[in-house]
Amino acid sequence: MAPSRGTQAIPRDLHVTLNSHKGPVNVARYAKGSAKYILTGGQDRTVRLWNANLGTEIKTFSGHGYEVLSLTVAHDNAKFASSGGDRAVFVWDVATGQTIRRLSGHLGKIHAVEFNEDASVVASGSYDSTVRLWDLRAQARQSIQTLEEARDAVQTLYVGSTYLISGSVDGHVRTYDLRKGELRSDFIGNPVAAVIPTLDSTTYLATSLDNHVRLMDMATGKMLNDFSGHTNESYRCRACFGYGEASVVLGDEKGLIWAWDLLDGKVMPPNPPPKAHHKVITWTEYHPIDAGEFITCSADGTAKVWKERTDHAD
Amino acid sequence: MSSRLKKKLGDIGVDLTSRRATENFCLIGTPLPPLEKSKDTGEFVPLWKQEVRDEKGRRRLHGAFTGGFSAGYFNTVGSKEGWTPSTFVSSRSDRAKKPASSKPEDFMDEEDLRELNESRKLVSTTEPDSLGSSSHPGAAGGIGLDNDPIAAALASAQHKESPGMKILKKMGWRSGQGIGPRVSLAERKRQDAQAFDPYTGVKSSESALDVASDDEEAGKHKYPRRDTPILTVARKGKSYGLGYTPGLSLNESLGVDSGQKVATGPKISAGFGLGALNDADEDDIDVYDFAATSKARVAFDHLDHVQDDTIVIGKGKGRQSKPFQGPKGPTQVFYDGTPVLPGFTLSDQPVQEDKWYPGPEVPPGWEPDPRRVWNASQSKEKSQPPAATTKGGRPQISAAEVSSHGQLREKECLRFQQRGTILGEESKTRSVFEFMSEKDRERIQRIAAGGAPPGPGAPLTAPPPTSFTMPQVEPHIAKAALQGFQPFTTDPAKQARYTTFLHSQADPNAPPLIPLPGQETEKFHKEVEDYAKSAILFKPMSGAMAGRFTSAAVLDLGPKVHEGLHQPTEEEYVKREEEKRAEEEKNVPPKVHAAKMGMYGPMTRETQPWQPARLLCKRFGVKEPDLPAGQDAMAGEPSQTSFGATSFEKEAAEAAAGAPGTFNAPTESSKISVWEKMRRKERIF
């Protein structure tokens, strides 16, 4: 493979630290749109809204009885959904801070929630190995559909415009194609911690607990690239695409943030990367628009915003 | 004014008639009613005066004392005719509805309600007044929110406020202040100086006003009083007396100190005490404390023995510091060195020994002769001349004499039967023989007669050990025994000999069993006997009886239990591991192998049809995929087709469903396999 030219290195400068959480921070998501805000969910059962640039906490949402494991923001930034040990999906109104709805039906803690494009459906993947799809327009208590193909806990979800991807501890990545009425399941081999497709929906990135991140072809199920060097054997770590999907960024178990070139598969310098967090990094998310920003949150109780420092240029 | 008071005042000399004697001090409000003057003198009150009415004028106490049941008619219930119970209305269908009267208030009449309202209090009396504790801000530490200052502020306000505190606060009081009108600075300072801790009595400077005494400006203002600390005495929960401290060892509770000696004053007898200014004089000193009470104390008559010899039981207190050594001085010791117990003294006189009396004097040459005794009892009936004693020896008493004497004795004594007849009892002469069966009786008789006991019916002869005859086993028994269970499984040689013996018995021509070389005759004989017995035992049941029984099939299905400590060997482990691995290998699907090798692709990809819910498709804005019923039925089979082939298959299905005449009816399509379809497709194009 030809060596990449000019792939931007990921920002390594700490912009701001968000450390109000008591206990591990399990998830940190960017808001939609211009993504000026960050939502974090922690082991302390709270969800906090922050200003990404200033690093100030804006609001705290309490209501969960158990830890918060996953968050998803609606497209209009007015609502978000959170899930955790309560076995229910909480849908919140951002402005008032109140829970709008509580969707229960799962039998185990919910590891992943995702809204669909217009936030009319929320999908939740749980320890009970099912994925449930809930309708937010109607007031029905039951889920629209339950996907029971997984044999073990569902750790990650992605909801696209016409398909759903779920990754499970049984080692399979299952793509539910609504248009085709098809279920394609790829056996990765080891428990799948995170799944992210590319924007053109031809390939997806699967993080698995064997210290590998694989780029898989959605059509054939073949592996296109393999990224390794990091440590990820026990925790749910998330690999995401960097700016322009030219790189792959992952915060691993040891607290290091790795970056690979997407085409090469080679680790981008610095290698080995400096230690960013004291404990396992539970979530890594790149800014949807900005080239030089991403966030990580960790079990050490902090979420860090990494940004390219612009005053360096002098 | 009560009559008694009047009398007393009159005795003193107060002028009862003046207005001042009966002055009413109540300036505001109504005075309390005078105390009860009326005592029950037992005076006769006529019945009409004893009528009781309530405030409404209704009569009370209708029939309780005069008899008659009115069922509440006179007041609130029912009618004169009686009270009809309400008709039963089934609530089976209306069970969810709360019954019309489920609260106790529904069943109460006005009297009950009045009583209820009276007992309701505006202010709860049971909740503790936390006037003292509310001033304690440190309680916020109990809540775990340490870094949040707001949480701390919230926590401090958490304490329950009694209504009294609320009222005080409304009037301007703050917790920590005393109650009462404000005082000047000097007064407050004085109060602070005089304050002391009620628990310890020590001067305390807590919550003293933090203002300098000579501050001019400060002196112009008034300050709240100092709060009086509330002394809460904990209840003594246990039921032991004052002065008792639980958990002390015996020594400690007695006051015994192992090392130290506390200076004690004169030991006053228990139960008495001395004031601060009194001394223990002669009367107070403990009479039983022996250290104090020396000879001079005792008021008794002078005893005969020296006092030192008496065993003294000292008081517990007295034992404290080796109180009574005795006039002899040091602790006494027994003859073997063991010290005398404290409180005891050795006595001079030895313990009284048992008196030993010498036996009777035996005249020389006397020999014991039982006959004398025997004959003495018979002397009334017969007078037998005493047997002549042999010279120089004891009289020889023959066995006959003994037995005859015994018999005589027997005859003399009353037998139980005789006693029975004397008493007039029914004599059912029951003998043991009645309980035995006829057969056994015969046997016993035979034995008593001295005959040999016959065998248990089997033709087995057990010759006496002395004679040397081969025990015989009847041929048919021997033959049957040969077919039955062969004993002596552990010793095949013996079993062989057993078989030979049986053969010899069964077939008169067969060679007899000969003793082994070196086997003694007795042993051989015993052996043969054993064989004979075994033959009888193990001869299988014949004929009809055999049909009723089946021998148990000994199936050793259980696991072989190896006794003793399980000592697995290395090979065992290795073998087991290998077996396990082999099993696992068999079960592993191919995709796992593929994944392990990194060959992701057709081997790891599985495609199945999946039907999304209609509502789901609607929400996503996606046209529902139309999967014909046939496809659905095949949903279970994962077809190992790649992406391209899937569309192929779909087209085939569509074609199969769409074109009516060309292919089989769609109803059969469920049974047609994918390959069929593909082939069909190939056929077309």
Residue-wise pLDDT tens digits, B587-600: 888 888 888 888 88
What residues have CB less than 8 Å from B524, skipping those under 6 apart?
B515, B516
Point out the residue among B605, B615, B622 whose CB comes nearest to the CB of A221.
Answer: B605
3-state SS of A108-131? CCEEEEEECCCCCEEEEEECCCCE
| Binary contact (B605, A137; C-beta < 8 A) | no
Range of B178-187, B643-652, B668-677 with top mean pLDDT: B178-187
Residue A159 has pLDDT above 50, yes or no: yes
Give the residue-averaged pLDDT of B68-72. Answer: 60
| Binary contact (B620, A223; C-beta < 8 A) | no
| Binary contact (A187, B613; C-beta < 8 A) | no
- Summarised one tens digit per residue, pLDDT across range A174-233 is 999 999 999 999 999 999 999 999 999 999 999 999 999 999 999 999 999 999 999 999
By C-alpha distance, the chain A residue nearest B615 is A144
Looking at residue B263, what is its pLDDT?
59
A254 confidence band (pLDDT: 50, 70, 90): very high
B639 confidence band (pLDDT: 50, 70, 90): very low
A152 confidence band (pLDDT: 50, 70, 90): very high
Give the residue-averaged pLDDT of B570-582. Answer: 90
Q: Token pair 């190995």 is at which residue?
A: A129
Give the CA angle between residues B390, B393, B394 to the nearest 5°.
85
Q: Which residues pair with A131 in a beta bridge?
A: A125, A147
State whether residue B320 is helix, strand or coil: helix
3-state SS of B326-378? CCCCCCCECCCCCECCCCCCCCCCCCCCCCCCCCCCCCCCCCCCHHHHHHHHH
Q: Which residues pair with A68 in a beta bridge?
A: A84
Residue A104 has pLDDT above 70, yes or no: yes
Residue B200 has pLDDT above 80, yes or no: no
Looking at residue A215, what is its pLDDT?
95
| Binary contact (A178, B592; C-beta < 8 A) | no
State whether residue B169 is helix, strand or coil: helix
Q: Which residues pair with A80 in a beta bridge?
A: A73, A92
B557 confidence band (pLDDT: 50, 70, 90): confident
Looking at residue B250, what is its pLDDT?
75
Number of neighbours of residue B556 by Cβ within 10 angstroms: 6
Burial of B416 (0-12, 13-18, 19+ CB in 10 A): exposed
- pTM, two decimals, is 0.43
B204 confidence band (pLDDT: 50, 70, 90): confident
Express the helix, strand and coil content of chain A in percent, nearest 5 each: 0, 50, 50
Looking at residue B647, what is its pLDDT?
46
Residue B256 has pLDDT above 70, yes or no: no
Looking at residue B603, what is its pLDDT?
87
Looking at residue B452, what is its pLDDT?
52
d(CA B151, CA B149): 5
Identify whether the C-beta of residue B229 lies closer than 8 Å to the C-beta of residue B197.
yes
Q: Token pair 């296109």 is at which residue?
A: A224
**A47: nearest Cα among A314, A303, A311:** A303
| Separation in Å, CA B14 to CA B22, B37, B264, B488 | 11, 22, 61, 130
CA distance B109 to chain A (A): 48
Worst-scoring range by mean pLDDT, B264-273, B494-503, B583-592, B602-611? B264-273
A48 confidence band (pLDDT: 50, 70, 90): very high
* Mean pLDDT computed over every residue of chain B: 71
Range of A274-278, B12-16, B477-481 with top mean pLDDT: A274-278
B284 confidence band (pLDDT: 50, 70, 90): low
- Summarised one tens digit per residue, pLDDT across range B353-404 is 888 888 888 888 888 888 887 777 666 555 444 444 444 455 567 777 777 7
By C-alpha distance, the chain A residue nearest B606 is A185
Looking at residue A94, what is its pLDDT?
93
Looking at residue B5, what is its pLDDT?
80
Looking at residue B414, what is its pLDDT?
67
Looking at residue B590, what is its pLDDT?
83
Give the residue-averaged pLDDT of B630-648. Answer: 44
d(CA A247, CA A260): 6
CA distance B207 to chain A (A): 37
Dihedral sign, Cα of residue B138, residue B144, residue B146, residue B149: negative
Identify whether the C-beta of residue A27 lies closer than 8 Å to the C-beta of residue A68.
yes
Dihedral sign, Cα of residue B177, residue B183, residue B188, residue B190: negative
Residue B127 has pLDDT above 70, yes or no: no
Looking at residue B464, what is its pLDDT?
42
What residues have CB less than 8 Å from A50, skipping those under 6 apart?
A18, A37, A38, A39, A40, A56, A57, A58, A303
Higher model confidence: residue B548 or residue B130? B548
Give the residue-averaged pLDDT of A127-148. Answer: 93
- Summarised one tens digit per residue, pLDDT across range B408-456 is 666 666 677 788 788 887 766 667 777 777 888 888 888 887 755 544 4
| Binary contact (B625, A222; C-beta < 8 A) | no
Higher model confidence: residue B256 or residue A150? A150
Looking at residue B73, what is its pLDDT?
64
Higher model confidence: residue A122 or residue B92? A122
Lookup: tokens for A265: 């598969």
First to last CA, chain B: 131
Residue B582 has pLDDT above 60, yes or no: yes
Residue B90 has pLDDT above 50, yes or no: yes
Looking at residue B657, what is its pLDDT?
46
Identify whether the C-beta of residue B328 lies closer than 8 Å to the C-beta of residue B340.
no
Question: Would you give the DSSP letter of residue B74?
Answer: T
Give the residue-averaged pLDDT of B177-202. Answer: 85
Looking at residue B42, what is its pLDDT?
81
Q: What percentage of chain B reaches a pLDDT higher than 90? A: 3
Q: Which residues of B88-98 are buried (b: 16+ CB within 10 A; e: fewer)?
A: eeeeeeeeeee
Q: Which residues pair with A60 in a beta bridge?
A: A48
* CB contacts, 8 Å: A180 with chain B: 625
Range of A209-223, B46-60, B183-197, B633-647 with top mean pLDDT: A209-223
* CB contacts, 8 Å: B615 with chain A: 135, 144-145
Give the residue-averaged pLDDT of B250-255. Answer: 70
Looking at residue B277, what is its pLDDT?
73
Residue A149 has pLDDT above 70, yes or no: yes
Give the residue-averaged pLDDT of A55-59. Answer: 93
Point out the residue among A145, A189, A220 whose CB comes nearest to the CB of B601.
Answer: A220
Looking at residue B255, what is its pLDDT?
66
Residue A59 has pLDDT above 70, yes or no: yes
Higher model confidence: residue A58 or residue B462? A58
Q: Strand order in A303-307's β-sheet?
A: A14-18, A303-307, A293-298, A281-286
State whether residue A84 is helix, strand or coil: strand
CA distance A310 to chain B (A): 34
| Binary contact (B622, A179; C-beta < 8 A) | yes
Higher model confidence: residue A114 or residue B131? A114
Looking at residue A297, what is its pLDDT?
95
Looking at residue B306, what is its pLDDT?
55
Higher model confidence: residue B314 or residue A176? A176
Lookup: tokens for B161: 């406020």
B131 confidence band (pLDDT: 50, 70, 90): low
Higher model confidence: residue A226 or residue B2? A226
Residues of B with a Cβ under 8 Å from any A Cβ are: 591-592, 594-596, 598, 600-602, 604-613, 615-617, 619-620, 622-627, 642-643, 646
Residue B297 has pLDDT above 60, yes or no: no
By C-alpha distance, the chain A residue nearest B650 is A180
Give the residue-averaged pLDDT of B25-41. Answer: 75
Residue A313 has pLDDT above 60, yes or no: no
Question: Would you give the DSSP letter of residue A266?
Answer: P
B672 confidence band (pLDDT: 50, 70, 90): very low
Looking at residue B27, what is its pLDDT?
80
Size of interface A-B (CB pairs under 8 A): 99
* Mean pLDDT computed over every residue of chain A: 92
Residue B46 has pLDDT above 70, yes or no: yes
Number of neighbours of residue A125 by Cβ within 10 angstroms: 28
Looking at residue A210, what is its pLDDT?
93
Higher model confidence: residue A8 or residue B185? B185
Instruction: Measure the CA dihedral A15/A19/A24/A26, to 10°.
Output: -50
First to last CA, chain A: 35
A295 confidence band (pLDDT: 50, 70, 90): very high
Q: Strand order in A257-261's β-sheet?
A: A239-241, A247-251, A257-261
B674-682 long-range Cβ contacts below 8 angstroms, 24+ apart: B674/B634, B674/B639, B674/B641, B674/B649, B677/B649, B677/B652, B677/B653, B678/B648, B678/B649, B678/B652, B680/B652, B680/B656, B681/B648, B681/B651, B681/B652, B681/B655
Residue B84 has pLDDT above 80, yes or no: no
A310 confidence band (pLDDT: 50, 70, 90): confident
Looking at residue B625, what is its pLDDT?
87
- Summarised one tens digit per residue, pLDDT across range B317-326 is 444 444 454 4
Q: Which of A121, A137, A220 to mutate to test the interface with B (most CBs of B within 10 A)?
A: A220
Q: Which of B146, B596, B600, B631 to mutate to test the interface with A (most CBs of A within 10 A)?
A: B600
d(CA A283, CA A251): 7
Residues of A with a Cβ under 8 Å from any B Cβ are: 116-117, 120-121, 133, 135, 137, 144-145, 161-162, 171, 176-189, 214, 216, 219-223, 226
Range of B520-534, B546-560, B600-614 with top mean pLDDT: B600-614
Q: Give the CB-side neighbour count of residue B678, counting CA atoms within 13 A.
A: 11
Q: Which of A147, A180, A218, A223 to mutate to test the interface with B (most CBs of B within 10 A)?
A: A180
Residue B685 has pLDDT above 70, yes or no: no
| Binary contact (B608, A185; C-beta < 8 A) | yes
Looking at residue A259, what is its pLDDT?
94
Q: Extract the runs of DSSP E, i.e. beta strands, from B526-572.
A: none
Higher model confidence: residue A103 or residue B534? A103
* CB contacts, 8 Å: B619 with chain A: 116, 120-121, 135, 137, 144
Number of neighbours of residue B482 by Cβ within 10 angstroms: 18
Burial of A187 (0-12, 13-18, 19+ CB in 10 A): buried
| Separation in Å, CA B214 to CA B221, B222, B419 | 13, 14, 123
